[in-house]
Amino acid sequence: MPHVAVDPSTGRELYRVASTPLEEARLAAARAHAAHRAWWEAGFSVRGRHLRALAEGLRSSRDALARRMAGEMGKPIVEGLGEVEKCAWVCDYYAEHAEAFLAPEHADTAALRSGWVHRPLGVVLGIMPWNFPLWQVLRFAAPTLMAGNGVLIKHAPSVPGCAEDIQRLIDDAGLPTGLVATLFLEVDEVDDLIADRHVAAVTLTGSVRAGRAVASAAGRALKKTVLELGGSDASVVLADADVPSAAAECVRARMLNGGQSCIAAKRMVVVDALHDAFVDAVVADMRSRRSGDPHLPDTTLGPLARVDLRDALHDQVERSAAAGAVVRLGGEIPAGPGAWYPPTVLTEVGPGMPAYDEELFGPVAAVIRARDDDDAIRIANDTAFGLGASVYTSDLERGEAIARDRLHAGACFVNGMVRSDPRLPFGGVGISGYGRELSALGIREFVNVKTVWVEAAE
């Protein structure tokens, strides 16, 4: 089946891209494997030069790339421009730091010399989502390439233009022919590609369901995986928090990318003493969001990426309301074409409701009332997910201690929204996945940590 781009603001089909046959994908894996050795032997400075050229190409194409994202998945232009710049940043970051991150390590043993080195695994298959169609790819590809590996990109079917744009920019940056290949592979053929002898490892950003499927296939083939899956991040608002600033930051964290982010603030857990004032502030802020054409610079909320995703979100809202949640704002599908959904606020949310137990991927804020600070922390941890969490308090030392020791997640922020940064490791625990991207840890995920021991000849 072809990969189809549909404008989610109108429902109009934009274009189609033919699927990649499995045998062609296997040939691409073999070509990437053949190319990666020379790429590694070229050295860090050469690889870094190409990554910097890629960063330059991203920046020079920023307007067109932002328009592409607006058209294919509804991202507002202003957010798309920021995503492009972040992609350029991660390329520059690893071009500068990869050699230090992968420097040989010495160990003091009985040997004349001993330690370990980092060598590329070979070809890494990246299975990518639609919500950050440029950033998710470059987040894994930049460090993976700087480590000397080849890369296969299996992008989401709904953003084929973004996938082609990335491949064009990589080619324009002068990377070796065949080292990076974009594959429009069908989902039911991914397992066969994972098993291919030229694929050394797999990384996936996506749903829990997709993560389980990829982990199972990779496990059968004994391939290394890194999984960044869903989240139901909690924002804990303690009794000494500043309500206006906490509410504003929580809404910003909930509404980024139309709420279609794994690390969005999906559950706002607020102590009872602040609850009503916090809800009023959140409702006012959410109501002020400007929904409209994502191509316009003053739009702050575009459509969701697809109608089926919108309908699934609405079903979660309706089931939560049927179970006792109160819809304080929104909660109704607007008339007309497209994947539109209004800013929505649910209160009186509790266990057993989708808004409490599941990931809500869209502009829906679930506010949960807690008795006190300890109860709020308990509720924040009452989830199978573990991607990110945040805590709002005027006591920075206490907030840091709670983030460090009491919240169970891969990233915990104090008085700010959870976000990724090339300088910090990123990933989750529980059903939010395993492994880490970004920072020194991210580039070391797809290398062979090889022990080297040297003794003097007798």
pTM for this predicted structure: 0.98
- Residue 1, pLDDT score: 83
Give the largest CA-CA distance in the chain.
Answer: 84
Q: What is the torsion angle, in degrees rounded to the nearest 10, for the CA atoms of residue 141, residue 145, residue 150 and residue 155?
A: 10
- For 25-51, the pLDDT digits (tens) are 999 999 999 999 999 999 999 999 999
Residue 159 neighbours by CB distance under 10 Å: 25
Report how far residue 366's alpha carbon sits from residue 354's, in angstroms, rounded to the nearest whole number.
10
SS3 content of the chain, % helix, strand, coil (to 5): 45, 20, 35
Which residues, 6 or more positions from 202, have their beta carbon under 8 angstroms from its beta carbon? 124, 125, 126, 127, 194, 214, 218, 223, 224, 225, 226
Confidence at residue 290, expressed as pLDDT on a 0 to 100 scale = 85
- Mode of pairing for the β-strands spanning 105-106 and 433-434: unpaired
**List of the chain residues with pLDDT < 50:** none
All domains in the chain, ordered by first residue: 3-229+428-454 (3.40.605.10), 233-414 (3.40.309.10)
Give CA–CA dist 258/342, Å, rounded: 10
Element (H, E) at 440: helix 439-443
Q: How many CA atoms lie within 13 A of 32 on its CB side?
A: 30
- Dist CA 179 CA 151 (whole Å): 6
| pLDDT tens readout for residues 53-69 | 999 999 999 999 999 99
Place of tokens 């009794």: 239
Query: Which residues form the catalytic set?
Result: 228, 262
The overall average pLDDT reported for the chain is: 98
115 residue type, one letter: G
pLDDT score of 458: 78
